[in-house]
Amino acid sequence: MNEATTTARDEPLLSVQDLRTHFSINAGLLKAVDGVTFDLQAGQTLGIVGESGSGKTVLSRSIMRLNLGNNVETSGKALFGGKDLLRLPMGQMTDIWGQEIAMVFQDPMTSLNPVVKIGRQVSEHVRKHLAVSKREARGLAVELLKSVRIPEAEVAIDSFPHELSGGMRQRVSIAIALACGPKLLFADEPTTALDVTVQHQILNLLGLQQSERDMAMVLVTHDLGVVAGRTDEIIVMYAGKIVEQSRTRQIFQNTSHPYTEALLRSIPKTDQPSHTRLAAIAGRPPNLITMPSGCSFSPRCPYAQERCFEEEPPLTVTKEGHATACWYQVGTEANRAAWDKNLAAGRPATLAVAEGQVIDEVPLDIGAGGA
């Protein structure tokens, strides 16, 4: 979050090693997460960014062992305080859940129980984990709701979720997650279901609580704009794999992977004239059951060369701590040569970027005004 907390500590709080989560479904084996490795130090913030279906939510749920169903196969390691969460008996997981690791879910409309009062939902797990009395729990619930800036907390604890707005409900979810003082917080798209005006408040609240409590946080989002300035490190995921991983500033200043570049390009900018066409990424995320050979982003990549369709690029550390999985990294000579070659050959994905327009789904004659 800020420079003071970025001093590296010896032992990472969370160390994920070669994590794979595969679902057996009728159509075949779905590799939602396929070999993810990263470390997270205590008190730090990690952003996990990717499109829908990139595996970012499954990744965080895999670490928390919250993928329900009996068709899930998870392998690898997730070391938390020296213990491998993936091999812990479920009985011990219930002691870690809520108390050591907590999660804020995407949609506050569905993640709170509609028939249980707010106060109870905020404090029931505190009573279980920390063995406090009913009266103390009530006081604690009020304190927690105040700490997430819920007005009239004494009234709010006796209300039901449907009596609160979406933003207030997400504040309640955050209060629930913070209640037992966890060391690590997963925030899975915490603002996606909320109004834009509320999004900033919620993100600021999360950041504030995090630095106050010296808690580590994993912020999962599809929006690079959300993680910019709020995270220490960023992982960009595509089709279940990490494609780029670096310190936040590096990701924005020395963007190396074409997918990250495309994500950055697709953020609307306020200085553009209105009605400027949004830069979408051509094509769709790949089918996770029948993956393309070579680089999984190659069908949509403007720089893709023959090698990209045949050989999968490994994740290699190029600069100090900056890892990228690409044969023709953005900013290199090879990348520029690939661009020129594709442009000359008229590769559609390249032309789409060159024209700053989408040729895939939207006809060109709609909304072309402005620029």
Partner 1 sequence: MLGKVLAVRTVRLIATLFAVSLLTFLLVEQLPGDPILAILPPGGLDDLETIERIRKELRLDDPVLTRYFRWAGDALQGDLGKSYITDQPVSDAIKDRIPVTMELALLATLIAAFLAIPIGAISAYREGGYFDRTMSAFTTAALSIPGFLAGIFFIWLFTLKFNWLPSTGWNRITDKGLLANLQTAILPAGALALAPLAINARLIRADMIGTLKEDYILSAKAKGLRDRYILMRHALRPSSLTAITVFALQLGGLIGGTVVIETVFALPGLGTRLISGIYQRDVVMIQGITLFIATVYVVVNALVDLLYAALDPRIRRQ
User: Residue 20 or 117: which CB sits closer to partner 1?
Assistant: 117
Phi-psi region of 78 (alpha: psi -120 to 50; beta: other; left: phi over 0): beta
- Binding of residue 112 to partner 1 (CB under 8 A): yes
Closest among 90, 91, 107 to 161, alpha carbons compared = 107
β pairing state of 316-319 and 241-247: unpaired
Distance CA 148, CA 45 (A): 19
State which residue, 111 or 221, has the beta carbon closest to partner 1: 111
Report in angstroms how near the CB of residue 161 gets to partner 1 at its nearest.
9
Q: ∠21-244-238 over CA atoms, to 5°?
A: 45
Minimum separation from the CB atom of position 129 to partner 1 (A): 6
* Residue at token pair 């989002």: 221
Nearer Cβ to partner 1 (107/136): 107
Name which of residues 143 to 162 contact partner 1 (CB under 8 A): 160, 162
68 binds partner 1 (CB under 8 A): yes
Tell me if 103 contacts partner 1 by CB under 8 A.
Answer: yes
On whether the CB atoms of residues 286 and 239 are closer than 8 A, the answer is yes
- Residue in 25, 27, 116, 354 binding partner 1, rule: CB under 8 A: 116
Nearer to partner 1, 80 or 259 (CB): 80
Tokens of 14: 């969370």
* CA distance readout (Å), 245 to 100, 232, 240, 263: 26, 11, 14, 14
Q: Compare residues 180 and 351 and give the one whose CB is closer to partner 1.
A: 180
SS3 88: coil
The Cα–Cα gap between 129 and 179 comes to 10
Q: Which listed range, 73-81, 120-128, 210-218, 267-275, lies at the site for partner 1 (CB under 8 A)?
A: 120-128
Q: Which stretch binds partner 1 (CB under 8 A): 31-39, 100-108, 145-153, 305-313?
A: 100-108
Per CB under 8 A, the segment of 90-98, 302-310, 324-332, 346-354 that binds partner 1 is 90-98
Dihedral sign for Cα 175, 180, 185, 188, please: negative
Q: Residues in contact with partner 1, total (CB under 8 A)?
A: 29
**105 part of the interface to partner 1, by CB under 8 A:** yes
Closest to partner 1 by CB, 108 vs 294, is 108
- As a whole number of angstroms, the distance between CA 350 and CA 61 comes to 35
The contact set with partner 1 (CB under 8 A) reads: 64, 66, 68, 94-99, 102-103, 105, 107, 110-116, 124-125, 128-129, 160, 162, 173, 176, 180
